[in-house]
Amino acid sequence: MPKQNSRAATVAGLALAGTGLSHFVVPQVYEGVTKSAFPTNTRQHVYIDGAAETAIGLGIASPKTRKIALAGLGAYLLYMGVNVARNR
């Protein structure tokens, strides 16, 4: 992978990890979005989503774990999409 793409992936991963960490600092910001996927125990799911985003983001930031983290990101997005569709 070219160095420029690797750097962009690292920055994107760190941004995602930072977003994940912000779920713990200001969880109320994410409750509205999370409620559509998880109408019960919403705050608990905000924290779970924050942990998942932090882990996936850190995985994307590291070239050694990037491929598996991208697969995890795909699975996470599918999981969220299925839950939103199911709760409509």
pLDDT in tens, 62-82: 999 999 999 999 999 999 999
Between CA 84 and CA 81 the distance in angstroms is 5
Share the mean pLDDT of the chain. 94
> In sequence order, what are the residues at sequence separation of 6 or more whose Cβ sits closer than 8 angstroms to the Cβ of residue 84?
36, 37
User: Is 80 exceeded by the pLDDT of residue 31?
Assistant: yes
Please give the pLDDT value at position 2. 62
Whether 59 and 9 have beta carbons less than 8 Å apart is answered as no
CA distances from residue 48 to 12, 15, 61 in whole angstroms, order as listed = 20, 18, 20
Which tokens belong to 34? 């999370």
Q: How many domains does the chain have?
A: 1
Range of the domain at 57: 3-86
